[in-house]
């Protein structure tokens, strides 16, 4: 029980399968074929700066929408009867079990020209191009990651004692103040963990924009995939940049909450 | 606002969110009954369900996915539980360091993990002369599942009373006996949830398998990806309809079971007090 | 709850495993075939599932995987330590593979059906001594358009730059084909371009980008068959397939002339079963097999025995078997240096990322 040895296999494992691959990425990114140090590939990666910013923007937008949608529903669930709570959380988890490519494909069918949603709109005389734009990409992202926002929020909200809210009401707080002064501060850890769980994967997603976006909606994940097959060096350089950017974002987010909040 | 109004409003909101969550799934299932290969509705049929079980490439992919998921979950549960206990006994900086490195696969974007593992396997492949395939996919899956096992076991370790283990030793248990009778029992919920998380993540993984599968090994998500590029076969819709029903049934059964257990516990409690 | 959940999960797993295993069978050998997507008869039209037929006749297991472009095939072949027994690259890629010593000479004694190949498809420029390749099928790049969505006539590649079709145009998502069309628009011969040519094509593609719905390869099928896009350049055989799935579609042989390609079966150096691979090639050249296969995939056949067995309606189709005059207007790709090639690749990704 006191044994540290039990961790040995895993430490070895991490060395081979976590650290060495990262070293390889860095080495591919900054060394040419002859093994000399070069900034050529990082410079090439910089050409995709616009795509980087676009990806961050789409991810941020999706995260905010997820948060806005998830906050009320998590609150409603956490305040309902225990039995209902269980059923509702279960129903939120079910779509996560379906393959993510299939869910995207389903949106392609829903949003296509003359598809179900478009027909619905045209009933009211509205003609809309629903697919092939940033809106569709954001919609796809929100759909993919909404459960990852709801679940951590629901967990922290479930822990808030009802009597705390009642006490605040008794002391004369109105509804808005109860939420702002009591509920919100207590849910900050949930928000941070939800935001991390949505923002990080959303930034680096690939394929979503290939199916739901148009020619202007390429994201950094797609670029890495495309470049990587033909040019491992530049591909690694972009991957390296992405990693650094994500890391910075996580550090910034952690500043807002305590250490325990991040993670699952 | 009266309480009643609020209730209606929140029900409406729940309704909207669930429509959003389930509309695409409904579409997927509806198209599994479509008698045509494109997204144009051509009449009702069951034939895709029949053809699904005759399609050897989908069936092989399904089989591969399940084998990988089971093996990855088992291996990473063992590796991760052992690691969690081991790490728990480290103190201070070494412990922090190990935990940080262990969390890298969780924090790192999947695509970066995928790309880096591919570099590793091509590198090792050249050195040791092997091809990417089943083994490399399995290794990668164990790699990204184990951190989740550690994360779900560690809290249980913290909750556990260390004295229980010592008491077991005092009462004449051997070290090994004490370990599996006391420690493992206490950790069981954490281990099980780690296993389940690993199983689910492995089952659904596309990105990392995509980069580490080599060129011949197909898992279900990759099969779906290949199809998605041209025409998705309604057979895949049929498969997802079946999976959906299975998952839903399993979850409903556990839900009912839970409710019963809870009720019984409450009643028992009421009786004794 | 978790105990029950995992128990049930296990149950499903065991169930599925037995299901999958019950379909297993012992084979005498195994070959890895790496072919283009949608490029073999899978029996869904009720004629012949070519791969299954081969497996059954010789009791050899075929691991069949697909790629979307010559470049994808090349990068997998050269970088992933994988061993394939059959690949089906196009002309210029064969030239490149030969130059890089990645192909194994075929032992034609094991391929007696080679005599079925028409004379004009032997000793082609990319393999002048005919040591490494056996033609699988050929075709041209043409335009597919939706008659209800395009107003007026479609004449050639210039229609891919038409403002009134904005948002409904698809374009090749592969550097060589996309750049070639752009070069034709700039009056440059796309056979063996230089970096300057690529720069010009780059500008032309940038000009087209705002008009596009998306860059697509195999996705073109879904887009055109579902009437989601108005016009797309694609390979003639596939256009025929699309047309059979959507009556609104029609085709056009571009007036500017077009790219003529020949895809051939080759055996990579890394093959571990070259003899089985030759068996496979010989099988594919059989008149009946080739006829069933080419009828299904829609591409033109270089196989005289097969042509004799095929429907008049197909062999007289101008899209699939264009006139000699039209073919004379067409060009083939030649191999380009790695330097120029990676420049082209880079520029094409730049078009998409800009």
Q: Residue A77 is part of a domain; what is its CATH number? A: 1.10.3720.10
Map tokens 């033609």 to a residue. Answer: C135
- A111 neighbors A131 (Cβ within 8 angstroms): yes
Nearest residue to B61 via CA among B236, B252, B208: B236
Q: Considering only the beta carbons, identify the residue of A132, A227, A229 that sits closest to C213.
A: A132
Q: How far is CA B207 from CA A52, B116, C215, in A?
A: 19, 12, 21
Which residues on chain C are in Cβ contact (under 8 Å) with A112?
Answer: 226, 228
CB contact under 8 A, B132 and C217: no
Q: Considering only the beta carbons, identify the residue of B60, B196, B231 that sits closest to C20.
A: B60
Cα–Cα dist B261/A86, whole Å: 14
Beta strands C249-252 and C169-172: pairing type?
Answer: unpaired
Kindly state the tokens that stand for C211.
Answer: 């008009």
Report yes or no: B56 at the C interface, CB cutoff 8 Å.
yes
Question: What is the distance of C-alpha C329 from the center of its chain?
Answer: 21
Please tell me the predicted confidence (pLDDT) of residue B247. 81
Question: For residue A79, is it within any domain?
Answer: yes
Q: How many CB pairs under 8 A join A and B?
A: 214
% residues pLDDT > 90 (chain B): 32
Nearest residue to A241 via CA among A20, A56, A37, A16: A56
Residues 23-62 of B with CB under 8 A from A: 23-25, 27-28, 31, 39
Please tell me the predicted confidence (pLDDT) of residue B113. 94
Question: For residue A43, is it within any domain?
Answer: no
Please tell me the predicted confidence (pLDDT) of residue A264. 36
Kindly state the tokens that stand for C14.
Answer: 């065991």
Q: Considering only the beta carbons, identify the residue of A24, A73, A204 that sits closest to B116.
A: A24
Which residues on chain A are in Cβ contact (under 8 Å) with B244?
Answer: 94, 98
Please tell me the predicted confidence (pLDDT) of residue A254. 75
Q: Which stretch of DSSP H or E encloses residue C9? A: helix C2-22
Please tell me the predicted confidence (pLDDT) of residue B271. 46
Cα–Cα dist A125/A130, whole Å: 15
Q: What range does the domain containing A73 cover?
A: 49-232+248-261
Give B182 to chain A, closest Cα distance, Å: 11
CB contact under 8 A, C72 and A51: no
Domains of chain B, first to last:
1-55+235-266 (no CATH), 56-232 (1.10.3720.10)
Nearest residue to A237 via CA among A52, A83, A80: A52
Cα–Cα dist B69/B243, whole Å: 15
Please tell me the predicted confidence (pLDDT) of residue C270. 86
Please tell me the predicted confidence (pLDDT) of residue B129. 81
The Cα angle at residue C84 between residues B61 and C44, in degrees rounded to 5? 50
CB contact under 8 A, B122 and C37: no
Report yes or no: B222 at the A interface, CB cutoff 8 Å.
no
Q: Considering only the beta carbons, identify the residue of B59, B131, B230 that sits closest to C38.
A: B230
- A58 neighbors A137 (Cβ within 8 angstroms): yes
* Structural domains of chain A, count: 1
CB within 8 Å of B210: residues ≥ 6 apart: B114, B222, B225
Question: For residue A60, is it within any domain?
Answer: yes
Q: How many CB pairs under 8 A join B and C?
A: 104
Instruction: Say how many C-beta atoms besides its own lie within 10 A of residue B180's C-beta.
Output: 10
10 Å CB burial of residue B188 (0-12, 13-18, 19+) is: middle
Please tell me the predicted confidence (pLDDT) of residue C186. 93
Question: For residue A97, is it within any domain?
Answer: yes
- What b/e string do you get for B105-128 counting C-beta neighbours within 10 Å, with b at 16 or more? bbbbbbbbbbbbbbbbbbebbeee
Nearest residue to A37 via CA among A47, A48, A26: A26
Please tell me the predicted confidence (pLDDT) of residue A255. 76
Checking A5-8 for CB contacts under 8 A at 24+ apart, the result is A5/B86, A6/B82, A6/B83, A6/B85, A6/B86, A6/B89, A7/B82, A7/B83, A7/B85, A7/B86, A7/B87, A7/B89, A7/B90, A7/B98, A8/B86
The tens digit of pLDDT for each residue in B137-188 reads: 999 999 999 999 999 999 888 888 778 778 888 888 887 787 777 888 888 8
CB contact under 8 A, B196 and C13: no
Q: What is the pTM of this model?
A: 0.84
CB contact under 8 A, C167 and A132: yes
354 residues of chain C, pLDDT tens digit each: 455 556 656 666 666 555 555 555 678 888 999 998 878 988 877 788 899 999 999 999 898 888 878 888 887 887 766 789 999 999 999 999 999 899 999 999 999 999 999 988 988 889 998 999 999 999 999 999 999 999 988 999 999 999 999 989 999 988 899 999 999 999 999 998 999 999 999 999 999 999 999 898 888 988 898 888 999 999 998 999 899 888 999 999 999 999 999 999 999 998 989 999 999 999 999 999 999 999 888 899 999 999 999 988 888 899 999 998 999 999 999 888 888 988 998 899 999 887
Report yes or no: A4 at the B interface, CB cutoff 8 Å.
yes
List chains touching A (3+ CB pairs under 8 A): B, C
Nearest residue to C77 via CA among A131, B63, B216, A201: B216
Beta strands C29-36 and C60-67: pairing type?
Answer: parallel
Collect the ranges in chain A with pLDDT lower than 50.
Answer: 259-264
Q: What is the 3-state secondary structure (H, E, C) of chain A?
A: CCCCHHHHHHHHHHHHHHHHHHHHHHHHHHECCCCCECCHHHHHHHCCHHHHHHHHHHHHHHHHHHHHHHHHHHHHHHCCCHHHHHHHHHHHHHHHHCCHHHHHHHHHHHHCCCCHHHHHHHHCCCCCCCCCCHHHHHHHHHHHHHHHHHHHHHHHHHHCCHHHHHHHHHCCCCHHHHHHHHHHHHHHHHHHHHHHHHHHHHHHCCCHHHHHCCCCCCCHHHHHHHHHHHCHHHHHHHHHHHHHHHHHHHHHHHHHCCHHHCCC
Query: Domain ranges in chain C?
Result: 28-137+261-320, 139-259+332-353
- C1 neighbors C256 (Cβ within 8 angstroms): no
Nearest residue to C259 via CA among C344, C170, C349, C174: C174
Identify the three-state secondary structure at position C247.
coil
CB contact under 8 A, C66 and B226: yes
Cα–Cα dist B216/C85, whole Å: 12
Which residues on chain A are in Cβ contact (under 8 Å) with B119?
Answer: 21, 24-25, 28, 232, 236
Which residues on chain C are in Cβ contact (under 8 Å) with B40?
Answer: 226
Report helix angle C2-22 to B56-88, nearest 10.
140
CB within 8 Å of C215: residues ≥ 6 apart: A215, C170, C171, C172, C173, C178, C352
**Minimal Cα distance from A230: which residue of C?**
C75
CB within 8 Å of C272: residues ≥ 6 apart: C83, C85
Are both C28-137+261-320 and C139-259+332-353 of the same fold? yes
Question: For residue A30, is it within any domain?
Answer: no
Give B40 to chain C, closest Cα distance, Å: 7
Q: Considering only the beta carbons, identify the residue of A44, A214, A230 that sits closest to C214.
A: A214
- C301 neighbors C310 (Cβ within 8 angstroms): yes
10 Å CB burial of residue B172 (0-12, 13-18, 19+) is: exposed
- A119 neighbors A130 (Cβ within 8 angstroms): no
Question: What is the distance of C-alpha A114 from the center of its chain?
Answer: 30
CB contact under 8 A, B86 and A4: yes
Nearest residue to C345 via CA among C224, C204, C174, C105: C174
CB contact under 8 A, C352 and A226: yes
- A9 neighbors B96 (Cβ within 8 angstroms): no
Question: For residue A131, is it within any domain?
Answer: yes
- B112 neighbors B42 (Cβ within 8 angstroms): no
Radius of gyration of chain A (CA): 22
DSSP state of C28: S
CB within 8 Å of C145: residues ≥ 6 apart: C154, C159, C230, C231, C232, C249, C250, C251, C252
Report yes or no: B116 at the C interface, CB cutoff 8 Å.
no
For C57, list phi and psi in degrees, rounded to 5: -70, -40
Cα–Cα dist A228/B272, whole Å: 66
Cα–Cα dist A225/A227, whole Å: 6
Which residues on chain A are in Cβ contact (under 8 Å) with C2?
Answer: none
Indicate left, alpha or beta for A263 from its phi (over 0: left) and psi (-120 to 50: alpha).
left
Collect the ranges in chain B with pLDDT lower than 50.
Answer: 271-273
Q: Which CATH superfamily is domain C139-259+332-353 in?
A: Periplasmic binding protein-like II (3.40.190.10)
CB contact under 8 A, A263 and B106: yes
Nearest residue to B189 via CA among B159, B220, B152: B152
CB contact under 8 A, A98 and B28: yes
10 Å CB burial of residue A102 (0-12, 13-18, 19+) is: buried
Report yes or no: C12 at the B interface, CB cutoff 8 Å.
yes
- B44 neighbors B33 (Cβ within 8 angstroms): yes
Please tell me the predicted confidence (pLDDT) of residue A259. 47
CB contact under 8 A, A211 and B86: no
- A153 neighbors A190 (Cβ within 8 angstroms): yes
Mutate to test the interface with B, among C9, C46, C215 (most CBs of B within 10 A): C9
Q: Considering only the beta carbons, identify the residue of C210, C226, C349 that sits closest to A227.
A: C349
Mutate to test the interface with A, among B115, B127, B169, B205 (most CBs of A within 10 A): B115
Which residues on chain A are in Cβ contact (under 8 Å) with B243?
Answer: 97-98
Q: Does domain C28-137+261-320 have CATH number 3.40.50.300?
A: no
């Amino acid at each position: 029980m006191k044994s540290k040895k039990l961790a040995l296999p895993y430490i070895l494992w991490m060395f081979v399968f976590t650290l060495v691959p990262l070293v390889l990425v860095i080495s591919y990114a900054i060394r040419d074929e002859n093994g000399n140090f070069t900034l050529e590939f990082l410079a090439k990666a910089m050409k995709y700066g616009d795509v980087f910013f676009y990806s961050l923007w789409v991810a941020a937008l999706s995260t905010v929408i997820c948060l806005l949608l998830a906050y009320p529903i998590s609150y409603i669930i956490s305040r309902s009867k225990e039995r209902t709570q269980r059923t509702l959380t279960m129903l939120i988890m079910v779509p996560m079990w379906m393959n993510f490519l299939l869910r995207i494909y389903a949106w392609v069918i829903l949003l296509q020209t003359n598809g179900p949603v478009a027909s619905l709109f045209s009933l009211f005389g509205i003609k809309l191009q629903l697919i092939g734009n940033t809106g569709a990409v954001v919609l796809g992202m929100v759909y993919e990651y909404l459960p990852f926002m709801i679940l951590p929020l629901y967990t922290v909200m479930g822990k808030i004692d009802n009597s705390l809210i009642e006490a605040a009401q008794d002391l004369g707080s109105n509804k808005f103040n109860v939420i702002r002064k009591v509920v919100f501060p207590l849910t900050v850890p949930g928000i941070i963990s939800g935001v991390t769980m949505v923002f990080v994967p959303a930034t680096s997603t690939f394929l979503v924009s290939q199916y739901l976006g148009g020619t202007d909606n390429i994201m950094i994940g797609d670029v890495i995939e495309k470049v990587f097959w033909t040019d491992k060096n530049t591909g690694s350089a972009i991957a390296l940049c992405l990693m650094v950017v994500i890391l910075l974002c996580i550090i910034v987010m952690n500043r807002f909450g305590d250490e325990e909040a991040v993670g699952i | 606002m009266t309480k009643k109004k609020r209730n209606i409003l929140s029900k409406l909101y729940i309704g909207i969110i669930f429509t959003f969550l389930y509309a695409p799934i409904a579409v997927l299932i509806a198209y599994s009954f479509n008698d045509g290969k494109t997204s144009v509705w051509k009449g009702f049929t069951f034939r895709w369900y029949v053809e699904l079980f005759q399609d050897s490439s989908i069936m092989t992919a399904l089989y591969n996915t399940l084998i990988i998921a089971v093996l990855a979950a088992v291996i990473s549960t063992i590796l991760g539980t052992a690691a969690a206990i081991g790490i728990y006994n480290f103190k201070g900086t070494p412990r922090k360091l190990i935990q940080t490195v262990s969390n890298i696969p969780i924090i790192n974007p999947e695509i970066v993990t995928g790309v880096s593992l591919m570099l590793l396997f091509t590198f090792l492949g050249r050195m040791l002369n092997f091809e990417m395939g089943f083994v490399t996919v399995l290794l990668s899956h164990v790699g990204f599942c184990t951190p989740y096992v550690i994360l779900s076991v560690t809290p249980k370790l913290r909750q556990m009373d260390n004295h229980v283990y010592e008491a077991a030793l005092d009462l004449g248990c051997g070290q090994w006996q004490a370990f599996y009778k006391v420690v493992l029992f206490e950790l069981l919920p954490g281990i099980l949830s780690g296993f389940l998380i690993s199983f689910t993540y492995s089952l659904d993984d596309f990105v990392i398998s995509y980069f580490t599968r080599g060129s011949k090994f197909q898992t279900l998500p990759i099969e779906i990806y290949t199809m998605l590029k041209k025409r998705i076969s309604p057979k895949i819709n049929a498969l997802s309809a079946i999976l959906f029903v299975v998952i839903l049934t399993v979850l409903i059964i556990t839900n009912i079971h839970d409710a019963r257990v809870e009720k019984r516990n409450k009643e028992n409690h009421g009786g004794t007090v | 709850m978790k105990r029950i959940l995992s128990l049930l999960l296990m149950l499903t797993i065991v169930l599925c495993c037995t299901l999958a295993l019950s379909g297993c069978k012992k084979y005498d050998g195994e070959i890895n075939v790496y072919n283009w997507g949608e490029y073999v008869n899978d029996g869904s039209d009720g004629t012949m599932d070519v791969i299954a037929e081969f497996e059954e006749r010789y009791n050899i297991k075929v691991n069949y995987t697909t790629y979307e472009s010559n470049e994808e095939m090349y990068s997998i072949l050269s970088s992933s330590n994988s061993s394939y027994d059959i690949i089906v690259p196009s002309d210029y890629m064969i030239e490149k593979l030969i130059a890089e010593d990645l192909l194994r000479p075929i032992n034609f004694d094991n391929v007696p059906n080679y005599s079925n190949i028409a004379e004009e498809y032997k000793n082609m420029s990319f393999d002048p001594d005919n040591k490494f390749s056996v033609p699988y099928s050929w075709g041209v790049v043409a335009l597919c358009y939706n008659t209800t969505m395009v107003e007026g006539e479609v004449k050639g590649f210039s229609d891919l730059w038409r403002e009134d079709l904005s948002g409904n145009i698809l374009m090749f998502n592969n550097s060589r084909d996309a750049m070639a069309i752009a070069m034709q628009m700039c009056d440059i011969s796309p056979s063996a371009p230089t970096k300057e040519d690529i720069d010009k094509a780059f500008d032309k593609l940038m000009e087209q980008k705002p008009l596009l719905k998306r860059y697509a390869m195999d996705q073109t099928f879904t887009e055109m068959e579902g009437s989601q896009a108005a016009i797309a350049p694609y390979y003639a055989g596939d256009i025929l397939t699309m047309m059979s799935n959507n009556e609104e579609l029609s085709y056009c042989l571009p007036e500017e002339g077009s790219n003529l390609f020949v895809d051939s079966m080759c055996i990579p150096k890394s093959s571990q079963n070259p003899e089985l691979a030759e068996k496979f090639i010989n099988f594919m050249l059989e008149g009946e097999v080739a006829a069933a296969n080419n009828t299904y995939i829609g591409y033109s056949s270089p196989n005289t025995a097969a042509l004799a067995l095929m429907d008049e309606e197909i062999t007289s189709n101008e899209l699939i078997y264009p006139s000699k005059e039209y073919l004379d207007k067409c060009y083939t790709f030649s191999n380009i240096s790695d330097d120029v090639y990676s420049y082209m690749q880079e520029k094409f990704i730049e078009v998409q990322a800009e």
